[in-house]
């Protein structure tokens, strides 16, 4: 049997890996000044959820939680008409 040569596929794969590593490096450069970027985002989202919970999820900014809150699993039911 003849040995198949997949040099082109291997070359393209290496280029793809190098490009993805370069993209990760560029993203790291842009976010290097804020090392706690994801932590800050998570804290902001948690603070917004806690604020909505204090207001019984009735404010307009809390609309994003309405579908997920009104379930048997969450145990929180919001009556939007009150």
- Answer whether residue 80 is part of any domain: no
The reported pLDDT for the residue numbered 60 is: 83
pLDDT for the residue 44: 96
Q: Is the pTM of this model over 0.75?
A: no
C-alpha–C-alpha distance, residues 65 and 35, integer Å = 28
Task: For residue 16, count CB atoms less than 10 angstroms from its CB and return exposed for 0-12, middle for 13-18, buried for 19 or more.
Answer: exposed
Domain count, the chain: 1
Give the pLDDT of residue 43: 96
Residue 56, CA distances (Å) to 37, 49, 53, 71, 79 in order:
29, 10, 5, 15, 9
Residue range(s) defining the domain that contains residue 44: 7-69
Residue 62 lies in a domain: yes
Domain contains 1: no
Q: 1: which 2 tokens?
A: 């049997």
Strand partners, 76: 70
What string of pLDDT tens digits covers the 82 residues of the chain?
A: 567 777 888 899 999 999 999 999 998 888 878 788 889 999 999 999 999 889 888 888 888 888 787 777 777 777 666 5
Query: Is residue 2 domain-resident?
Result: no
Whether 37 is covered by a domain: the verdict is yes
Whether 64 maps to a domain, the answer reads yes
Q: Does residue 35 sit within a domain?
A: yes
């Amino acid at each position: 049997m003849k040995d198949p040569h997949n040099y082109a596929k291997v070359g393209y794969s290496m280029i793809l890996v190098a490009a993805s590593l370069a993209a990760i490096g560029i993203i790291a450069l842009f976010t290097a000044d804020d090392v706690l970027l994801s932590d800050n985002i998570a804290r902001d989202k948690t603070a917004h959820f806690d604020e909505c919970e204090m207001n019984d999820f009735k404010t307009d900014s809390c609309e994003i939680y309405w579908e997920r809150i009104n379930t048997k699993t969450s145990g929180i039911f919001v009556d939007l008409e009150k």
